Chain A
């Protein structure tokens, strides 16, 4: 338990509709542990419950049944909520909805200001966090004039300034162009590898999941599959069955295997594919 950043124990969450008639079970009994320092990717189709479970991880939603612990703190305990949210920060899909100030550095300072951090400490944190995400030179810019990838990195800096141990990112690259996507993924990976921050990344881009320590696949509110990227992506047919995909090179290997070519199906990257094909040639 002490090694766990997040533990979800048999979490059930029901959305109740306005009329109070129909209720929708978005999460139907999830047990999930995320270790400190882990890089976890959650995959699942729209409506599979992945965003709902993610919102439990910093107490934006509270379980209808079951328990969620963030660094050992029960999210149902109201007096712990601010401590929980400063441990686990969240970044959303649309950067325009997350930036609040008119100057980049003020935006990054917003979180720590609200935590009551002394002002010279805020100054130091803002500079440091903007440097971490490579946005320091833009500190005096207006956020709305930045590119999508830059905005998302500012949003990440804003979370970092609250000194979290864990960052949850809900499709942070969905609205970005290829270079913006690369910038954000590189930033996230560095935070994990260099600063040891626990990362929980939700994405629809299978290529982004390749670097993870572990992948959890959600379907109909439950954990359907779990394993290393190699274990999960080698199940091409199962992934396609639940409306997901695999990286393009993995799919090529799978199709070649079907045609009787002796190639491993747990290939995830271009260089692995090139190596495998060179050996076959």
Chain B
């Protein structure tokens, strides 16, 4: 499923003293099956941007075309769009509310009007996809779980809608390193094994470096950089000037290159660095 964003502009509270242009003429095309990371400092327009992709916000001007349907004009049924584009908010565990995990995850599929059997099989599949054992967890209260597990239940609730595009807004904020790695691994699986198109909003350059095929950088409502991680992380000065950073590994490689080490600029993960350094040092 492809998403095409054309000249997207969003102005909050137009015509008031608080008027703010949150998105300024954004043009992006996301292809079927891509893993795109969206980075930008707080207030850069990331969240406003992703909320347009399933019709939660309407553009002030511009168009969004999902597959061949323009969702921003005419009488498009937004419920159809929301079935295809799932959005996991920040701190999604705050939205858990049911007595048991199974009930919580099945809430969405029920609302789609699916049969009992279909709901049941989707809940099982969704729990499987996020790495929660169905038998072990189905009757537990979601509130008895650890932070990382709660978050997985919340993600399963969106996954059970079986969207083709999954958008996650800072899914690892506040998790410890292990919880963070588990969630990221599950997201990677959703992309690799189930072919979902993923849009990951993140403040962690290290996470983005590990996972994304493509990085989109936002600043003051505009998409200022768009490319493969290796190309985007080469722009460390530009990234810092807009309140971002590059992974620690990239800073290390940069320093080493200055000292005359023969290392490629394309290195931005620990594994890549270890491999390259080993070759030089042995």
A residues with a Cβ closer than 8 A to B are 44-48, 93, 147-149, 171, 174-180, 204, 206-207, 243-245, 247-249, 251-252, 255-256, 259, 261, 270-271, 273-274, 277-278, 280-281
Q: Is B249 among interface residues, defined by CB-CB distance under 8 A?
A: yes
Q: Which 5 A-B pairs have the closest CB atoms?
A: A243-B178, A179-B243, A245-B177, A45-B176, A178-B245
* Cβ-defined contact, B248 with A179, below 8 A: no
Q: Is B13 among interface residues, defined by CB-CB distance under 8 A?
A: no
* Cβ-defined contact, B252 with A244, below 8 A: no
Q: What 0/1 readout, one digit per residue, does chain B (174-191) give for beta carbons within 8 Å of chain A?
A: 111111100000000000
* Cβ-defined contact, A255 with B270, below 8 A: yes
Taking CB atoms, residues of chain B closer than 8 Å to A280 are 281
CA distance A280 to B261 in the complex (A): 11
Taking CB atoms, residues of chain A closer than 8 Å to B249 are 248-249, 252
- Known contacts A179-B243, A252-B270: A261-B248 contact under CB 8 Å: no
Could you tell me the dominant secondary structure of chain B's interface residues? helix
- Known contacts A175-B174, A281-B281: A47-B243 contact under CB 8 Å: no
> Smallest CB–CB gap between B66 and chain A, Å?
28
B residues with a Cβ closer than 8 A to A are 40-43, 146-148, 173-180, 203, 205-206, 240, 243-245, 247-249, 251-252, 255-256, 259, 261, 270, 273-274, 277-278, 280-282
- Known contacts A256-B278, A256-B281: A243-B176 contact under CB 8 Å: yes
- Known contacts A46-B148, A47-B146: A274-B176 contact under CB 8 Å: no
Q: Which B-chain residue is minimally distant from A93 (CB atoms)?
A: B174
Q: Provide a sorted-by-A list of 6 A–B residue pairs whose CB atoms are within 8 angstroms.
A: A45-B176, A179-B245, A248-B252, A252-B252, A255-B274, A274-B255
Taking CB atoms, residues of chain A closer than 8 Å to B270 are 248, 251-252, 255
* Cβ-defined contact, A46 with B281, below 8 A: no
> Smallest CB–CB gap between A36 and chain B, Å?
29
Taking CB atoms, residues of chain B closer than 8 Å to A207 are 248
Q: Which A-chain residue is minimally distant from B43 (CB atoms)?
A: A147
Q: Which A-chain residue is minimally distant from B260 (CB atoms)?
A: A281
CA distance A222 to B244 in the complex (A): 36
Taking CB atoms, residues of chain A closer than 8 Å to B205 are 178
* Cβ-defined contact, A45 with B252, below 8 A: no
Q: Which B-chain residue is minimally distant from A179 (CB atoms)?
A: B243
* Cβ-defined contact, A249 with B243, below 8 A: no
Taking CB atoms, residues of chain A closer than 8 Å to B274 are 252, 255-256, 259
CA distance A206 to B248 in the complex (A): 12
* Cβ-defined contact, A247 with B248, below 8 A: yes
Taking CB atoms, residues of chain A closer than 8 Å to B243 are 177-180
Q: Which B-chain residue is minimally distant from A48 (CB atoms)?
A: B176
Taking CB atoms, residues of chain A closer than 8 Å to B278 are 256, 259, 261
* Cβ-defined contact, B41 with A45, below 8 A: no
Taking CB atoms, residues of chain B closer than 8 Å to A44 are 176
Q: Which A-chain residue is minimally distant from B176 (CB atoms)?
A: A45
* Cβ-defined contact, B256 with A274, below 8 A: yes
Taking CB atoms, residues of chain A closer than 8 Å to B179 are 45-46, 243
CA distance A248 to B270 in the complex (A): 7
Taking CB atoms, residues of chain B closer than 8 Å to A148 are 42
- Known contacts A47-B146, A256-B278: A270-B251 contact under CB 8 Å: yes
CA distance A247 to B270 in the complex (A): 10
* Cβ-defined contact, A204 with B206, below 8 A: no
Q: Which A-chain residue is minimally distant from B243 (CB atoms)?
A: A179
Q: A48-B176, A171-B174, A204-B174 are in contact. List 12 more A-B contacts (CB 8 A).
A: A44-B176, A46-B175, A46-B176, A147-B42, A147-B43, A178-B41, A178-B244, A179-B245, A252-B273, A261-B277, A261-B282, A277-B281
Taking CB atoms, residues of chain B closer than 8 Å to A179 are 41, 240, 243-245
CA distance A148 to B281 in the complex (A): 42
Taking CB atoms, residues of chain A closer than 8 Å to B259 are 274, 278
> Smallest CB–CB gap between A204 and chain B, Å?
5
CA distance A52 to B157 in the complex (A): 30
> Smallest CB–CB gap between A105 and chain B, Å?
21
Contact of A270 among B240, B252, B261, B280 (CB under 8 A): B252
* Cβ-defined contact, A248 with B206, below 8 A: yes
CA distance A175 to B41 in the complex (A): 11
> Smallest CB–CB gap between A225 and chain B, Å?
15
Taking CB atoms, residues of chain A closer than 8 Å to B248 are 207, 247-249, 270
